[in-house]
Amino acid sequence: MAKLNPSFLSLTLLTIFLTIASAHVFFEERFDDGWESRWVTSDWKKDENTAGEWNYTAGKWNGDPNDKGIQTSEDYRFYAISAEFPEFSNKDKTLVFQFSVKHEQKLDCGGGYMKLLSGEVDQKKFGGDTPYSIMFGPDICGYSTKKVHAILTYNGTNKLIKKEVPCETDQLTHVYTFILRPDATYSILIDNVEKQSGSLYSDWDLLPPKTIKDPDAKKPEDWDDKEYIPDPEDKKPEGYDDIPKEITDPDAKKPDDWDDEEDGEWTAPTIPNPEYKGPWKPKKIKNPNYKGKWKAPMIDNPDFKDDPDLYVYPNLKYVGIELWQVKSGTMFDNVLVSDDPEYANKLAEETWGKHKDAEKAAFDEAEKKREEEESKDAPDSDAEDNDDDDTEDDDDADTETKSDSSSGDADKDVHDEL
């Protein structure tokens, strides 16, 4: 066996050490003991009595009862909470923003996103109007909205990603990761699997496009963009125009009670002629002179001005959660702000990856028990038929359903404004 060069081995170990040493965790929260000292619950909406309370819990089903997070606990409430970390800039660094979220309530309309904020923020007043730098995470509302938000603030304006990134919609824990690199590229991962990637230049409207169609370009007069043309060799069959559209119905017979003197002379009705094929047209053939669809050439956009710091957020300082929920039950855990995608991957596997199978088993067991209870509580069908009070009860149920539907529509409007 060949011996390793000691110098090469030393260099390799040094490289690994420097790589590990250069990785930095700016903020990590697993919501263990003492988490309350690191987070500030906002007073936003408190004076309107619509501020919701957070529960510290492992949830109704979990993979580890000791692995807890914070969960929304009251329906029709606003939630706002934030934590501070040492201010930093992601200039020349990769930025990784990751957290896990679970919708135990089988969410119909609501968000599971988090925010990174910059500068000085009054955490007791943190709310929906507080400026943020990045907003990221899943959003679900009805049948139309089931996607991952990735909103970046540039020059004071919030810009939503132009690509569709579907989110998870079940009642289990999932890990969402946003990676922003110094070359202005990004990746979005769910459960450590990349779901979308690209560039800030193309996937957000942060800057004008680098190139545009030449507004002065015109299609050449001899440009043939007809893919198919009439076959010049195809000739109309002789007698084609003599074929009538309709013919006398050969099966029609004069009614027995028809009186020519009273009803007039009887004539057989007409029917569509099966031989008639409509106006003659020559068949189509491929155009030998077809050049394709003409497109204006692209030129440099005179309005484009590059920003080498397009990806930079110079004074990131807070992470926050700000939500409106019609139906509560969304849980957050394992929040990370770092410059190391590998560490983020490892954290996800140590938390979500380690417990996902046990959590799924616990959920399946809870669903089984729920279905058994519903089956036991189901009223006897014969008793329902003989119950004279059912009509009144149904009217009450209809009223409640309409009330819930109205609230759901209001919540959808909130999400449509994002």
Contact 186, 197 (CB under 8 A): yes
**Percentages helix, strand, coil for the chain, rounded to the nearest 5?**
25, 30, 45
Q: Which residues are annotated as a binding site for an alpha-D-glucoside?
A: 113, 115, 132, 139, 322
Given a contact cutoff of 8 angstroms between Cβ atoms, the answer to whether 56 and 34 are in contact is: no
The enclosing H or E element of 334 equals strand 330-338
Q: Which helix (H) or strand (E) holds 72?
A: strand 69-72
Q: Are 133 and 149 in contact (CB under 8 A)?
A: no
Is the CB of residue 101 less than 8 Å from the CB of residue 334?
Answer: no
Question: Pseudo-torsion of CA 9, 12, 16, 17, nearest 10°?
Answer: 60
Question: C-alpha angle with apex 115: 148 to 169, nearest 5 degrees?
Answer: 30
Q: Are strands 114-118 and 316-325 parallel, antiparallel or unpaired?
A: antiparallel
Q: Phi/psi zone of residue 283: left (φ > 0), alpha (ψ -120 to 50 degrees), beta?
A: beta
DSSP code of residue 267: -
The two three-digit tokens of residue 116, written as one number: 């990174």
Q: Are strands 185-190 and 193-199 parallel, antiparallel or unpaired?
A: antiparallel
What is the three-state SS of 20-57? HHHCCEEEEECCCCCHHHCEEECCCCHHHCCECCEEEE
Task: Name the DSSP class of 166.
Answer: B
CB-facing half-sphere around the CA of 301: CA atoms within 13 A: 11
Give the residue numbers of the binding site. Answer: 113, 115, 132, 139, 322
Find, among 143, 279, 295, 292, the residue nearest to 214 by Cα. Answer: 295
Q: By C-alpha distance, which of 248, 112, 131, 127 is closest to 190?
A: 112
Element (H, E) at 203: helix 200-203
